[in-house]
Amino acid sequence: MTRAAARPQGGHELLLLEGTREFFPALIAAMDAAQTLVHFETYIFDFTGSGAELAEALLRAARRGVQTCVAVDGLGTGTVPAEWQQRFTEAGLHWRVYSPVNALALLLPTRWRRLHRKLCVVDGHVAFCGGINVLDDFHDPSWGRLEAPRLDFAVRVTGPLVADAQQTMALLWRRLQAVHDLRRREPLQAVQDLLRDGGQRGAGAPPGPSGARAALLLRDNLRHRKRIERAYLKAIGAAHREVVIANAYFIPGRKLRNALVRAAQRGVRVQLLLQGRYEYFMQYHASRPVYGLLMDAGVEIHEYAPSFLHAKVAVIDGHWATVGSSNLDPLSLLLAREANVVVEDKAFAQQLRERLLRAMREEGRRMEPTHHGRRPWLQRCKENLAMFVMRLALFVTRKRY
């Protein structure tokens, strides 16, 4: 069992990064300093604006002989522009696609499983984890130019969990490489790669008594099916004073709803920062039927107004925090590959808490129970339709939520 399944341990240095304006420079600096390996995973890789700057950093690393491996999701990223494909090939950059999609593939529930985590390891020494795609903060592929930046977070980490990130990324890469080799009719090499050990440990700092306590939590369809959800449930269940959650696609299942309600009923202040702008039909409308239940129990709901909310973070009692890729919805918690960093450190938690509370205070709109109860019948119809679509999808995948 890897430390990704263990409790947080000490010896970590953490840096909270907000948006691509902080995340990309830190990532590019690490890539430009790389000597042996850049291993990168993302759901969306978009080449607009600052996304192209990150792609250039990957090219620079590959050209100077650094092993540069990039894995993207077939649905989230789609087809890479021909110009970039050629440049990647000429530089020697290794690019693999997780579960390529077509019209027929989308009809198969097993192909709905996506690579949604955002991870990067450089030289086995530093790791990045969060919810930020390679997507300019002021650009959206569906909605175009944004007036305000998308709100999202990532964390830069050095310490023991870097080895866990490298190991899990190496294992997935070997599977993708095996599929790639099979398609190129190189079955012997593919089998050898597939059966090889899951990856060598990186050169992350060893555990130590100092530094923040942290752990990498994974969600997949094999050994870690409910790891992230259980971490949320445990932390909320142990809360004494405060629960602060910011989540883009918030469609909590029964266990999570009950945990939030019980926390509020025992006097814990529960504050949620949720999506206030329409982005996707099901995720936007299916979340709203549960608002009334939560607000009746005393949960505060704030909707982020300036732009799209894409964060998947939480702070509990000012010392427990998580930053990652996992939404609190069925797709993330039942189907997608996700990665979250869980932190037990007052300084880090306080920094994230202050940013979330400021967003609620200055950039959010608090939802009032009476206003929510008087929403128009057409809105309720959309909510019921979205909930029906979600439940139908879960029925087809034979998942319970």
Distance CA 326, CA 236 (A): 16
Residue 90 vs residues 31, 82, 85, 87: alpha-carbon distances, Å? 18, 12, 9, 5
What would the two tokens of residue 190 be?
């593919």
Q: Which of 123, 222, 159 is nearest to 3 (CA)?
A: 159
**Of 60, 76, 6, which is closest to residue 218 (Cα–Cα)?**
6
55/301 Cα distance (integer angstroms)? 37
Q: What is the DSSP letter of 309?
A: B
How do beta strands 67-73 and 94-98 pair?
A: parallel
Q: What are the beta bridge partners of residue 272?
A: 245, 301
Taking the C-alpha atoms of residue 381 and residue 387, their distance in angstroms, rounded to an integer, is: 10
Output the CA–CA distances (angstroms, integers) from residue 313 to 108, 206, 219, 263, in the order listed. 31, 26, 15, 18
Which among 328, 336, 335 is positioned nearest to 394, based on CA atoms?
335
How many angstroms separate the CA atoms of 246 and 240, rounded?
Answer: 19
Burial environment of residue 269 by CB neighbours within 10 A (0 to 12, 13 to 18, 19 or more): middle
Total number of residues shown for the chain:
401
Backbone Cα Rg of the chain: 21
Distance CA 335, CA 321 (A): 23
Please check whether residue 310 is in contact with residue 246, taking contact to mean a CB–CB distance below 8 angstroms.
no
Residues assigned a catalytic role: 116, 118, 123, 310, 312, 317
